Amino acid sequence: MSTDLFSPITMGDIKLANRMVMAPLTRNRADGHNAPHEINVTYYQQRATAGLIITEASQVSAEGVGYPGTPGIYSDKQVIGWKKVIDAVHAKGGRIFIQLWYCGRISHPDLLPENQTPVAPSAIQPEGEAVTLDGMKAYVMPRALKINEIADIVAQYKHAAEMAKQAGFDGIEVHAANGYLIDQFLRDGSNQRSDQYGGSVENRMHFLSDVLDAVIEVWPSNRVGVRLSPENSFNAMSDSNPREHFSYFVSQLNARNLAYLHVLEGDMMSKSASIDYRALRNHYNGLYMANNGYDKARADKSIHNGDSDLVAFGIPFLANPDLVARYQQNLVLNDADSSTFYGGTEQGYTDYPFFEQATTAEPA
């Protein structure tokens, strides 16, 4: 029997019904406490037929915020909100991990406690603008973290991991991609430190290693995933040799017996790729999750050829709560409304029809 998207798979000690993963998707619809509420419960429960849901990126502290309306996992209110989401997903037989996030320089004083300056590995101002409650504003010059402050942020990740466990998640994903704080340490375009957290490829991995050490004190390692994006230029990111550097990072993860490695393949800004991702995948001994522009045919081929074990889908799951059934039955997909991606109400969030609803609504 051939292996395809709909084959079950065991991930650590969890059995997933299929290999279709709902990718983490920032939707900016948390409540005033940066906590999930009823609209989020409905949204995630609708998509519970995914083999695994990875939640939208969720900040590990108030200092980790980078956008308005994004959920966190550091307060009691947030735990209560996420527990309702988790219970709803579990009631439908789904599995759900939370993605842990610290935005670093991709933030703005308007979003942070006491209007503090965003932090980064090095004081390098990113090009672009931050989303604030008062509209778009240019990113500011970040402040380079001191050694003791790095330890404080690692402790915030551990606290968030504890809160995620208290809420009842099936596991956690450490967001080390897409230009946020851990990725800022990994890539030499944003990390120009000369201490043990910068310079060599070994030193640039130090922060990610510290974070993993901390969260694995809370969770079994096979309930922890990691997301990387070797050549994504989003958030003004660059690296002098992503092929060599990320081959090292990936190989170093092997000793940890993680749930999976989740890789955003190529550059989401240009849809191009210069790295041989099968070669990168070959450096990793565990489950490999592919992401970035996959459709059913490409995903099936990737899994059948052994290029990946799981495939994460973003926009297709956003617009099709029943994406698994639609792919299984080769049904037409809903079109995604990009104007409702970030912020707003139920429109473009929980009102995308299931296939039966869509066909019933069509005129005779």
Assess contact for 30 and 85: CB atoms under 8 A.
Answer: no
Q: Given the structure tokens 């459709």, which residue do they identify?
A: 295
Q: Rounded to an integer, what distance in angstroms lies between the CA atom of residue 161 and that of residue 148?
A: 20
Look up residue 337 and give its two tokens: 């409304």
Question: Could you tell me which residues are beta bridge partners of residue 97?
Answer: 54, 171
Beta-carbon contacts of 357 under 8 Å, excluding residues fewer than 6 positions away, are none
Assess contact for 100 and 175: CB atoms under 8 A.
Answer: yes
Q: Which of 264, 301, 196 is nearest to 24 (CA)?
A: 264
Q: Given the structure tokens 């209560």, which residue do they identify?
A: 80
Helix and strand tally (H, E) in the chain?
12, 14
Look up residue 340 and give its two tokens: 């409702």
Residues with a known catalytic role = 180
Q: Which of 83, 87, 84, 125 is nearest to 108 (CA)?
A: 125
* Collapsed DSSP state (helix, strand, coil) of residue 129: strand
What is the 8-class DSSP label of residue 14?
E
